[in-house]
Structure 1
Amino acid sequence: MHHQSKSYRSSLAILTALFFIWGLITSLNDILVPHLKALFSLNYIQASLIQFCFFFAYFVMSYPAGKIVSKAGYKMGIIFGLLVAACGCALFYPAASMRSYPIFLISLFVLASGLTLLQVSANPFVNSLGSPETAASRLNLTQAFNSLGTTIGPMLGGIFILSSVILTSDQLAALSPQDVQGYLAQEAASVQSPYLVLTAILIAIAIVIGFCRLPKLADEKQSSTSKASHSLWQHKHLIFGVVGIFAYVGAEVSIGSYLINFMQNPAIAGLTALDASQHLALYWGGAMIGRFIGSYVMTRIPANKLLAFNAAIIILLLLSAIFFAGHFGMWAVLSIGLFNSIMFPTIFSLALNKMGSLTGRASGLLCMGIVGGALMPMVQAAIADRFSLLISFTVPVICYLYIAWFGMSGYKTASKN
């Protein structure tokens, strides 16, 4: 028994490192958006394709990932996911060398496909490492380190990717052809090196996990009949939860994607790209701190009420930023991360309430709601291009209005459940 416990601890330590890298890679998208927007002279709609390609992979690849895991097992699913993600990171090298925005987008889709497989494999694996009574504690631990990764990611990305000054088209026209080529090569290298390092780290983790004797886990076999699949749609609180996940991920990604451009706006704070990227870490750091605070508060306040309260506070913060702008608006938006922290797991758990034997299939359906991270930034981008970036923050306001409703009413299960 002692040997098994030690094995679980070592396995959990490895997976915790995996969650950290996972969060770091995801948060680097918020650095890529302003960097590639400036480098390729993109409008907000074109720049939003970065998040679209990344999060659309979750929608496209969730079902195939589930089939792979069901046949190969969790361990092989994690290893395969790491290797696919490593391929996506490696593709950044030719994308930067050729200075091709489409290849960057393909690289992001491949990278996110690997992370989707990790999402399907690692979460249930961590949940099963040890006794059921401590499962929530283990998941909170790994998710906290995921948040640590999203906090550190923007700081490192800002240093290595956004440290140089992006030249305008007029400034480039004033340079000699040799200087232009040197400048473009320098900007390409700023993206290549960090992602090559991530490629090596992902391959190294895959090798370590390959040699580790991770415990075999017993999967619950569920019926795949059309009747079981059809019955999912009879649970209104589950469907409302899918929309809730869509709204939350869409709002979170939208805010994170345009927060650097938001802070660079002279009407807000007029920060440089590098300074703004360092401030972005506060947004994600707040989510990490809020996760610890929220886990304690939920022992005294019902989860649905805390969800509705946090959504209401975020709505007030966003409206304050829109109407008052300036440094106050910057700090109002940065503080949203603190209140975002508990939303994803809370919506997820409320939507799965009383699903019984359909819980596994319901979880897969909820994961498809992550596609909100692909679509909502594009909606906000369209408004930013048509009106202004400040006005475009009304999009996440609408998302949080829905989440507040879900916390007050939409989470309730039907009496027959």
Structure 2
Amino acid sequence: MKAYPVVLLVLITFFVISFVTNLLGPIFPALIESYQIGLLLAGFFPFAFFAAYGLMSIPAGLIAQQKGEKFVILLAFLLAAIGAIVFVLLPSFAMAMFALFTIGSAMALLQVAINPLLRRAGGEQHFAAFSVAAQLLFGAAATLSPIVYSSLVAHIQTGSELGQQLSLFTQPNKDWLIMYALFAVISIVMLLVTSFMTIPKEQQSSQTLRLSDSLALFKDKTVVLFFIAISCYVGLEQGIANSISVFLATYHGVDPMTQGTDVVSQFWLLLTIGCILGLALLKVMDAKLVLKLFSIGAACSLVFAIFGSKEIALIAFPASGFFLSIMWSVIFSLGLNSIVKGHSAVSGILCTGIVGGALASPIIGFIAELSGDLRISLLVLFIPLGFILSVSFWAKPLVKNHTIQLIKKREALD
């Protein structure tokens, strides 16, 4: 099945997921100020959001397997709208936890549903390329989200005509609520658009898939290996991103609030730009080879970032983001293309691996305190990176990514 309107819907959904997921970063200081809490309690905001991935991804895969992706997408946007509206109307600390968990659950449902749907709607051979295109939009939304936030809050604080209208959806000292009001509107619009879309269900066997059946997939060596690979990628990404500012301040005297923040922004920007090159390479090279080259590039960048001079580190850290750009997309596409059936259930298991990435930063901090050397602790990042590199050797996809033949072989005529 090739259905490019469905592909477009999926790509837009990726954009929406990123717009919401990366919203917590820029509003994090405002949340601390609004609720007058410390970093420990504030840490429960992202925890409530990302914990939903660990709890909801496998059930989401089961629902998608039984009810179809359209049902899951509609349910997700309904949950997202409810969570956002609750957040705007009742922004107490306790309700904020509930709202963020609800929105996180919606994002987990979407992630699980749209990956196998993109594979089916765009064609198995083109899945890796479309997945990288989705990652490109994901990065674009991550860049746009803080810009929209600062612009809307600026209107509210200056008391402009638009700002006065926007302030109706906020509360005193909680201007950031306008973003969740905006997200409620976006969720409702996406709910309506999806309801009018024709999204054929994947052909299923008559046997009912249960939770035990889904958990049984963990007995499949291939599924387990790709689950670990996804966990490794998220851990690697978060481990680098969360360590950049602290590392530069510790070893090179870089101000974490100014230049350090800029380097982190460059990391995400290059992660987005890298998708463009990755998208082009996937049209002319095998996905495993692209993953191998980018993994080696990431390893070299990390070595220079950790042991290089200040000038080298300022370049090498963002460069590592460039080489991380295609990893999620290629690993996910190789994983789904390596199994015969049950792609929605497997997608749920792979998305559960997202929550595993939360372990990277605590492990790095623990080793740093034991050794007294952040450089030594950052070496732990080469463990997940090494596993990702290994994927390029042992992965055996049943369907390879479609590539353009630059030199066509002359066919013999009978």
* Match of residue 113 from structure 1: 105
Letter of the 1:79 counterpart:
L
Structure 1: distance between partners of 2:134 and 2:187: 17
Task: Give the Å deviation of 1:249.
Answer: 1.0
SS of residue matched to 2:51: helix
Letter of the 1:405 counterpart:
S
Does the Cα contact within 8 Å between 2:115 and 2:347 map onto a contact in 1?
no
* Match of residue 290 from structure 2: 306
* Match of residue 115 from structure 2: 123
1:317 counterpart = 2:286 = no
Does the Cα contact within 8 Å between 2:133 and 2:279 map onto a contact in 1?
no
RMSD, aligned α-carbons: 4.0
Task: Give the Å deviation of 1:235.
Answer: 4.4
Task: Give the Å deviation of 1:109.
Answer: 1.9
1:407 to 380, 392, 395: 392
1:245 to 230, 233, 237: 230
Structure 2: distance between partners of 1:252 and 1:222: 40
Structure 1 residues 306, 129: CA separation in 2 closer, same or farther (over 3 Å shift)?
closer
* Match of residue 269 from structure 1: 254
Residues 143-179 of structure 1 show CA distances to partners (whole Å, capped at 9, x for unaligned) of 332222123234445666799xxxxxxxxxxxxxxxx
Structure 1: distance between partners of 2:20 and 2:244: 17
Task: Give the Å deviation of 1:60.
Answer: 0.5
Does the Cα contact within 8 Å between 1:250 and 1:375 map onto a contact in 2?
yes
2:71 to 64, 70, 76: 76
* Match of residue 378 from structure 1: 362
Stretch of structure 1 that moved more, 223-232 or 105-114: 223-232
**TM-score (norm. length: structure 2):** 0.74
Letter of the 1:270 counterpart:
D
1:355 counterpart = 2:339 = yes
1:90 counterpart = 2:82 = no
* Match of residue 153 from structure 1: 145
Letter of the 1:193 counterpart:
I
* Match of residue 199 from structure 1: 184
Structure 1 residues 107, 120: CA separation in 2 closer, same or farther (over 3 Å shift)?
same
Number of aligned residue pairs: give it: 379
* Match of residue 15 from structure 2: 20
Q: Percent identity?
A: 25
Task: Give the Å deviation of 1:29.
Answer: 3.1
Structure 1 residues 257, 154: CA separation in 2 closer, same or farther (over 3 Å shift)?
farther
Residues 49-103 of structure 1 show CA distances to partners (whole Å, capped at 9, x for unaligned) of 44433322112101222343345432232122012123333344467x54x3x55
Letter of the 1:112 counterpart:
G
Structure 2: distance between partners of 1:132 and 1:351: 12
Structure 1: distance between partners of 2:238 and 2:380: 12
Does the Cα contact within 8 Å between 2:59 and 2:348 map onto a contact in 1?
no
Task: Give the Å deviation of 1:24.
Answer: 1.6
Structure 2: distance between partners of 1:261 and 1:288: 23
SS of residue matched to 1:357: coil
Does the Cα contact within 8 Å between 2:81 and 2:188 map onto a contact in 1?
yes
Structure 1 residues 214, 204: CA separation in 2 closer, same or farther (over 3 Å shift)?
same
Does the Cα contact within 8 Å between 1:245 and 1:348 map onto a contact in 2?
yes
Task: Give the Å deviation of 1:378.
Answer: 3.5
Alignment of 1:146-185 (within 5 A): 146-157=138-149
Task: Give the Å deviation of 1:218.
Answer: 3.9
1:31 counterpart = 2:26 = yes
Residues 222-261 of structure 1 show CA distances to partners (whole Å, capped at 9, x for unaligned) of 7548997687455434322211111111221333345566
Structure 1 residues 265, 230: CA separation in 2 closer, same or farther (over 3 Å shift)?
closer
Q: Where in structure 1 are there 5+ consecutive unaligned residues?
A: 164-184
Structure 1 residues 216, 348: CA separation in 2 closer, same or farther (over 3 Å shift)?
closer
Does the Cα contact within 8 Å between 2:223 and 2:335 map onto a contact in 1?
yes
Stretch of structure 1 that moved more, 124-133 or 32-41: 32-41
Letter of the 1:28 counterpart:
L
Does the Cα contact within 8 Å between 1:245 and 1:344 map onto a contact in 2?
yes
* Match of residue 63 from structure 1: 58
Structure 1 residues 214, 137: CA separation in 2 closer, same or farther (over 3 Å shift)?
farther
1:346 counterpart = 2:330 = yes
**TM-score (norm. length: structure 1):** 0.74
Task: Give the Å deviation of 1:384.
Answer: 6.4
1:336 to 320, 341, 347: 320
Structure 1 residues 42, 251: CA separation in 2 closer, same or farther (over 3 Å shift)?
farther
